[in-house]
Amino acid sequence: MHIHILGICGTFMGSLAVLAKELGHRVTGSDANVYPPMSTQLEAQGIELMQGYEPAHLQPAPDLVVVGNALSRGNPAVEYVLNKGLPYVSGPQWLADHVLQGRWVLAAAGTHGKTTTSSMLAWVLEHAGMSPGFLIGGVPQNFGISARLGGTPFFVVEADEYDSAFFDKRSKFVHYRPRTAILNNLEFDHADIFPDLAAIERQFHHLVRTVPGVGLIIHPESETALKRVIGMGCWTPVQTTGEGGQWQARLLSEDGSRFEVIFDGEVQGVVDWQLTGRHNVNNALATLAAARHVGVLPKQGAEALSEFRSVKRRMEKVAEVNGVTIYDDFAHHPTAIATTLDGLRKRVGDTPIIAVVEPRSNSMKLGAHREGLAESVALADQAIWYAPANLGWDLAATVAGSPVPTTVCDSLEAIIAKVKADATPGTQVVVMSNGGFGGLHGQLAAALA
């Protein structure tokens, strides 16, 4: 079968393409923005990519068009599909029908940490010899690929609350029907599709409704929004993590790089890993709870996490030039920015940290997270913000009250000049964006050299 994927370079759709190819289909795809790491992964898989949304890409007609949620009515490819009556489906629906049917699905949902947690969980199961399939919105470094079918009933999926397609406004995760569901946290996000937090809570409740009575739901004890979700109705056993929960961590190092895992008051094992930050410790607890549900002993899981190598673009060290370290991080929300910097600060102590932030997510572009932005960089020594001409709101005014020295730039050249002027040997530069940021990381490394 020839499947053409519209929006193929999105992290979810690109992973879907890998699975379709593995199932033996001929897969092609088009996207407005073709950039790594997804473009390189797809090309390595022998999947043909086309730039833009030309109707000509759909000639001769494929057997099926999978439509990404970034496309809407008025898009030339979408209009062509509808006018010609080509068969089409959303990505989550295709995944549910062709990959997840009949499998034990383990889903990681939440505003933050979905990619990292699903990567951890896939690795813990792999380490235990369970050969899981997975679909993750990023490239876990333990696997080097974002998706695979796997050879057993177990399938780990990053469960996103974003909508499914222009014709299906339900959250993607409603399609997945997990038996094991991690609900990591819940804050307001995706202001382009959700009016308020209550609307997102309602979608999470729809997810909870699909988890069977023999399943398991895992969430942090401290998350009030998730408690409201569970309070709307829950028919499944629940385990809690974090302070006051059944699963707890006792930090053996302040930055979270070593900690004991405690379940029901008993020490289960020690995680000693490369990651930092309390948020990653919480991700680990949820992972171990989910893995135990499919038969992995927590001690075994802790040993696996000690070998976990994180995900590309999650505090990924991309260069070290003349003593200056450059990281690529996906942070796209004030909470994510703050927790990322907290983990790094605890690891490097008084070493200078420069945060370079592009407010690129749809919610950021709409200005939905303006309130928390200025404070989110408090643990850096200085912040450099990127405000392109088309941002649509006054970023400089928003971050004017920041507790750290702040620069707002309207070009990558200005950012590079500022970093070059201020970075001394030992400086840690964290570049935060949920897009390619115009290849800033490589340009910075070249300029510093």
CATH number at residue 321: 3.90.190.20
β-bridge partners, 39: none
**Residue at 435 is within a domain:** yes
Task: Please indicate, yes or no, whether residues 121 and 256 belong to a single structural domain of this protein.
Answer: yes
The whole-number pLDDT of residue 190 equals 66
**pLDDT tens column, 8-58:** 998 899 999 999 999 999 999 999 987 777 788 898 999 999 999 999 999
CATH of the domain at 283: 3.40.1190.10
**pLDDT tens column, 237-292:** 999 999 999 999 999 999 899 999 999 999 999 999 989 888 899 999 999 999 99
Distance of CA 373 to the CA centre of its chain: 20
Task: Please indicate, yes or no, whether residues 131 and 276 belong to a single structural domain of this protein.
Answer: yes
**Residue at 311 is within a domain:** no
**Residue at 234 is within a domain:** yes
Instruction: Count CB neighbours of 403 within 10 A.
Output: 12
CA 405, CA 419: separation in Å to the nearest integer? Answer: 13
Task: Please indicate, yes or no, whether residues 288 and 176 belong to a single structural domain of this protein.
Answer: yes
- Residues 104/155, Cβ–Cβ less than 8 Å: yes
Choose one of 90, 114, 133: the last residue of a domain. Answer: 90
The whole-number pLDDT of residue 364 equals 67
The whole-number pLDDT of residue 403 equals 93
Q: Which two tokens stand for residue 328?
A: 């690529």
CA 409, CA 312: separation in Å to the nearest integer? Answer: 26
CA 205, CA 202: separation in Å to the nearest integer? Answer: 5
Kindly provide the residue ranges of all beta strands, DSSP E only, lying in 225-367, ordered along the sequence.
238-241, 247-251, 258-263, 266-272, 316-321, 324-329, 353-357
Choose one of 284, 305, 326: the last residue of a domain. Answer: 305
Domain tally, the chain: 3
Task: Please indicate, yes or no, whether residues 269 and 171 belong to a single structural domain of this protein.
Answer: yes
Q: Which stretches of the chain score pLDDT less than 50?
A: none
Task: Please indicate, yes or no, whether residues 291 and 372 belong to a single structural domain of this protein.
Answer: no
- Residues 280/116, Cβ–Cβ less than 8 Å: yes
Task: Please indicate, yes or no, whether residues 120 and 245 belong to a single structural domain of this protein.
Answer: yes
The full DSSP string for 225-254 is HHHHHHHT---S-EEEESTTSSEEEEESST
The whole-number pLDDT of residue 237 equals 98
Choose one of 67, 90, 113: the last residue of a domain. Answer: 90
Determine the residue type at 428.
Q
CA 373, CA 137: separation in Å to the nearest integer? Answer: 24
Task: Please indicate, yes or no, whether residues 213 and 288 belong to a single structural domain of this protein.
Answer: yes
CATH of the domain at 84: 3.40.50.720
Start-to-end CA span in the chain (Å): 49
Residue 216 CB contacts under 8 Å (≥ 6 apart), including other chains: 179, 180, 181, 236, 237, 238, 239, 289, 290, 293
Task: Please indicate, yes or no, whether residues 249 and 321 belong to a single structural domain of this protein.
Answer: no
Closest of 268, 309, 261 to residue 127, by C-alpha: 309
Task: Please indicate, yes or no, whether residues 83 and 111 belong to a single structural domain of this protein.
Answer: no
Residue 235 CB contacts under 8 Å (≥ 6 apart), including other chains: 209, 211, 213
**Residue at 326 is within a domain:** yes
- The owner of tokens 């406004």 is 169
CA 442, CA 449: separation in Å to the nearest integer? Answer: 11
**Residue at 95 is within a domain:** no
The whole-number pLDDT of residue 315 equals 82
Task: Please indicate, yes or no, whether residues 73 and 146 belong to a single structural domain of this protein.
Answer: no
**Residue at 97 is within a domain:** no
CA 220, CA 92: separation in Å to the nearest integer? Answer: 26
Task: Please indicate, yes or no, whether residues 232 and 272 belong to a single structural domain of this protein.
Answer: yes
Q: Give the SS3 label for residue 213.
A: coil
The whole-number pLDDT of residue 366 equals 65
The whole-number pLDDT of residue 367 equals 64
Element (H, E) at 22: helix 11-22
The whole-number pLDDT of residue 339 equals 83
**Alpha-carbon torsion 62, 65, 66, 67, what sign?**
positive
CA 200, CA 194: separation in Å to the nearest integer? Answer: 7
The whole-number pLDDT of residue 331 equals 73
**Residue at 294 is within a domain:** yes
**Residue at 276 is within a domain:** yes
Q: Domain range spanning residue 324?
A: 316-448
Task: Please indicate, yes or no, whether residues 374 and 240 belong to a single structural domain of this protein.
Answer: no
